[in-house]
A and B are shown apart, each in its own frame.
Chain A
Amino acid sequence: EAQVTQNPRYLITVTGKKLTVTCSQNMNHEYMSWYRQDPGLGLRQIYYSMNVEVTDKGDVPEGYKVSRKEKRNFPLILESPSPNQTSLYFCASSTRQGSSYNEQFFGPGTRLTVL
């Protein structure tokens, strides 16, 4: 089954404790992206990657890191989480068609609480 998976689905942690949220897709998509969803703000892009070893900042990158060493994986790293990073996080991927991008497929989400 074609899908985007995220782990963990739920995480409660404390301020300053490094964490990684994994994202993996099995559709051979070039493009991958991380979003955070907050009430009243919709989804905002954190980081994205157009292909292996190519990453760039989205709208709200502060406090986050990413890497893209393999095409299928795009982990989100919080080196020193803070309470304002409490949010619902989504990973998404899409394929590229020529110079254009197709619709994005989303993972199930990771609900993160930072105490």
Chain B
Amino acid sequence: AQSVTQLGSHVSVSEGALVLLRCNYSSSVPPYLFWYVQYPNQGLQLLLKYTTGATLVKGINGFEAEFKKSETSFHLTKPSAHMSDAAEYFCAVRTGTASKLTFGTGTRLQVTL
């Protein structure tokens, strides 16, 4: 079975500060990992994904994530937060040929002046 744990339901950072959103997964087979962002009153938008190959993945809006197999982690980072980054972020995992996407419970990012 696959599962995702997002540490911290709410994260607050100052504008310009580093953003770090944590995601740990559990999977018995090599995972495919995703980060989605949800802006207020909108659907989910794909930020980035890891399937195979390079473990450091770059996404849209300056975000990146690193797949660390030994730590079963896929943390999302951005060097400098912007007010427009305020949103809810979801980590998700899919394994092998399975179609099922399992989501974490989400982390709401607040960016303050």
Interface set of A (CB-CB < 8 Å, partner B): 4, 31, 33, 35, 40-45, 48, 50, 58, 90, 92, 94, 99-101, 103-109
DSSP majority for the B interface? loop
**Which of B43, B45, B96, B99 is the one whose CB lies under 8 Å from A109?**
B43
B9 touches A40 (CB 8 A): yes
A107 touches B43 (CB 8 A): yes
A58 to chain B, nearest CB (A): 8
Is B90's beta carbon under 8 Å from chain A? yes
Interface set of B (CB-CB < 8 Å, partner A): 9, 34, 36, 41-46, 49, 90, 94, 96-101, 103-106
**Which of B49, B98, B104 is the one whose CB lies under 8 Å from A103?**
B49
B103 touches A42 (CB 8 A): yes
Take A40-B9, A42-B90, A43-B90 as given contacts and tell me if A109 and B42 are in contact as well, using a CB distance cutoff of 8 Å: yes
Chain B residue with the shortest CB-CB distance to A99: B97
Which 9 residue pairs spanning A and B have beta carbons closest together?
A106-B43, A42-B105, A106-B44, A99-B97, A43-B103, A42-B103, A108-B43, A101-B99, A103-B46
Question: Which of B34, B43, B45, B49 neighbours the largest number of chain A CB atoms within 10 Å of its CB?
Answer: B43
